[in-house]
C-alpha cells in the first residue's frame, strides 16, 4: 500500500487531492492549519473512503524541523513515502512598494522553501525505494506574472525550478517531479484574493471575478479541485513514469495567450 503526504490539505486543492488518494486506497498524511475538531472530522471522513489509513500531522510549513518530522512520522507509521504533494500556500496582493517584507518572507517560506524541506527529507526514502512521485502544486503564476503578486509569482517560478532539479536528481531512481500549474480555482485562498484585489484596484468583488479573474481564462470557467486531484493521481501513477521535470498548465488556456 502506497503512502501520500499532502501539505496544506485541510482545505481547498490539498484536501481534494488527499481525498482522491484516500479513495484510491493510499495511506494519506493530512497536514495544515485549522481547528482540531474540524481536522479530526476530515481525517475520519477520509479514512472511511478507502482501504488505507489517514493520519494528521500539524507541521507548520514555516518550520523546517516540523516538516522533517512530518516525513519521518509518515515513514515510521506506514513504512514508505511514495508520493509527496507540496501544496500548502498563502497569498498576499499588494503593490510592490507597499508589500510588507514579512509577507514576502512568509510566502517564500510556505510556498517555496517548505517544498525544499519536504523533498529534502523524503528524497533518501524515495531513492531507497527506487520509487517516488513529487507533485508540486505551483500555479499559472509559476509561468507568467500578474501585478501586485510579487512574492507569490517569485515563489511559484521558484518551485518549478526546484521540481526540475529534483527530476534530474531522481531520474535514475524511479523518482519523478513535476509542477501542476492551475489557473484560478474557487477556494478560500482565491476568495481572499478577490477581496484584496477589489481593494487594491478599487473594484467590486463581482467586477474582480468577471473582469480580472475569469478574464484571464479563455474558457471563462474556474478550474475545479476535482480536475486537479485527478491530474495529481495520474502523475503519481506508473503510467506517468516518463513525465518528469515538467511544468504542466491546467488553466483554461490562460498561459496560451
What residue ranges bind ligand NAD (CB under 6 A)?
Answer: 8-14, 32-34, 60-62, 87-90, 110-111, 137, 139, 182, 184-185, 187-190
Integer Rg of the chain from CA: 18
Nearer to ligand NAD, 66 or 75 (CB): 66
Cell of 113: 522553501
Q: Out of 148, 152, 184, 234, pick the active-site residue.
A: 152
Nearer to ligand NAD, 14 or 132 (CB): 14
**Considering the complex, what minimum distance in angstroms separates the CB of residue 32 from ligand NAD?**
3
**Considering the complex, what minimum distance in angstroms separates the CB of residue 198 from ligand NAD?**
16
Distance CA 55, CA 123 (A): 21
26 is catalytic: no
As a dihedral over the C-alpha atoms of residue 74, residue 188, residue 160, residue 96, rounded to 10 degrees, the angle is -130
Helices (H), the chain: 12-23, 36-47, 64-78, 101-108, 114-129, 150-170, 188-201, 205-207, 214-216, 225-236
Nearer to ligand NAD, 122 or 185 (CB): 185
Q: How many helices (H) and strands (E) in the chain?
A: 10, 7
**Considering the complex, what minimum distance in angstroms separates the CB of residue 148 from ligand NAD?**
15
Q: Name the residues annotated as catalytic.
A: 152
Amino acid at each position: 500500500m502506497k503512502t501520500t503526504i499532502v501539505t496544506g490539505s485541510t482545505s481547498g486543492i490539498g484536501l481534494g487531492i488527499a481525498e482522491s488518494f484516500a479513495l484510491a486506497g493510499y495511506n494519506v498524511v493530512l497536514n495544515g492549519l485549522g481547528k482540531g475538531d474540524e481536522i479530526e472530522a476530515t481525517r475520519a471522513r477520509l479514512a472511511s473512503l478507502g482501504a488505507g489509513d489517514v493520519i494528521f500531522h500539524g507541521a507548520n510549513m514555516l518550520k523546517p524541523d516540523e516538516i522533517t518530522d512530518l516525513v519521518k512520522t509518515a515513514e515510521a507509521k506506514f513504512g514508505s513515502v511514495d508520493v509527496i504533494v507540496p501544496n500548502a500556500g498563502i497569498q498576499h496582493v499588494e503593490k510592490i512598494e507597499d508589500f510588507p517584507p514579512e509577507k514576502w518572507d512568509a510566502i517564500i517560506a510556505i510556498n517555496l522553501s517548505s517544498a525544499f524541506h519536504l523533498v529534502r527529507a523524503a528524497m533518501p526514502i524515495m531513492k531507497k525505494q527506487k520509487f517516488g512521485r513529487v507533485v508540486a502544486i505551483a500555479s499559472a503564476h509559476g509561468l507568467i506574472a500578474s501585478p501586485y503578486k510579487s512574492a507569490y509569482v517569485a515563489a511559484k517560478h521558484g518551485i518549478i525550478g526546484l521540481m526540475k532539479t529534483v527530476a534530474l536528481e531522481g531520474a535514475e531512481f524511479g523518482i519523478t517531479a513535476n509542477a501542476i500549474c492551475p489557473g484560478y480555482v474557487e477556494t478560500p485562498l482565491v476568495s481572499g484574493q478577490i477581496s484584496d484585489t477589489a481593494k487594491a484596484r478599487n473594484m467590486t468583488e463581482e467586477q474582480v471575478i468577471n473582469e480580472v479573474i475569469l478574464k484571464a481564462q479563455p474558457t471563462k470557467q474556474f478550474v475545479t479541485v476535482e480536475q486537479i486531484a485527478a491530474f495529481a493521481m495520474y502523475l503519481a501513477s506508473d503510467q506517468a513514469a516518463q513525465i518528469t521535470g515538467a511544468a504542466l498548465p491546467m488553466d483554461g488556456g490562460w498561459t496560451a495567450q
